[in-house]
Structure 1
Amino acid sequence: MNKTLLAALLPLFVVGCAATPDKTALQAQGISTDGASKVAFRNVRVEGTTLKGSLKRIGRNPVHFGHLDYTVTDTSGKALQSGQTDYSGAIKQRRSPNASRFSIPLKQAWQPGLHHATLVWDDKTHQQ
């Protein structure tokens, strides 16, 4: 009985851990994130003219391939800035408990009501 209950609740626990708890708070700031099934965004914030945060591996296996795409738009949807950014390599290490930090310098000062940022983890290799 206990093993059946544990088997039924374990998938719910795993899904709950993979979700970013502050996703609603990020959306209020105008920031959207999508980590697909490999990574989760943590501690995403704007400090001055820099968008910072970290990527945490969801599973136990290292994440060897992938890159972070970003787009900053205004309220009308016009792209103000876009590209790919580097991150620290902690998610590539099998047993590293550390998150991989990223930092995106913004061309303009962040205005929460007027700007929107989208961060997307792409499982493909980084292409220049």
Structure 2
Amino acid sequence: MAQIISQGKDSMLASDHDHDRDLLLSNTNINRSSLGKQYSRFDAQVRALQCDFDTYCSEPEDKEDYEKWKSRGFVIDEKKEEIERFISENRVIREIYGEVVPNKVDDESFWSRFFCRIFKLNQAEEAGRALLVKR
């Protein structure tokens, strides 16, 4: 009897884990139905960034690059529409935002860290494409 209960418990835990993973993937800005194509490696990296609390709560590793990026023109007021779209369309970002702002991080730091990391991800993707073209 104990073995049957244990197997049922393991099955339920595995099911919950699968559901949580599916929920994270289905509630991102980039999903298969909206793009009409398979996810790319870049899309997976964007989703991973969006779902990671460190994206929003931790200082970027290269603080000097981060400050340069901010000084080149990051103005949160210019991103209001994009931010509203992220909050309304992306459940994961909305939930993380609700949990950490303003208790752990202020609004501007939350968004500037996010947009900086997306910028860096785009830079890396473009550099990778340039290398492929060069070959």
Q: TM-score range by the shorter chain?
A: under 0.3
- In our comparison, the structure showing a higher alpha carbon Rg is 2
Q: Under a length normalisation based on structure 2, what TM-score does the superposition of the two structures give?
A: 0.27
Greater helix proportion: 2
Q: Under a length normalisation based on structure 1, what TM-score does the superposition of the two structures give?
A: 0.28
Greater strand proportion: 1
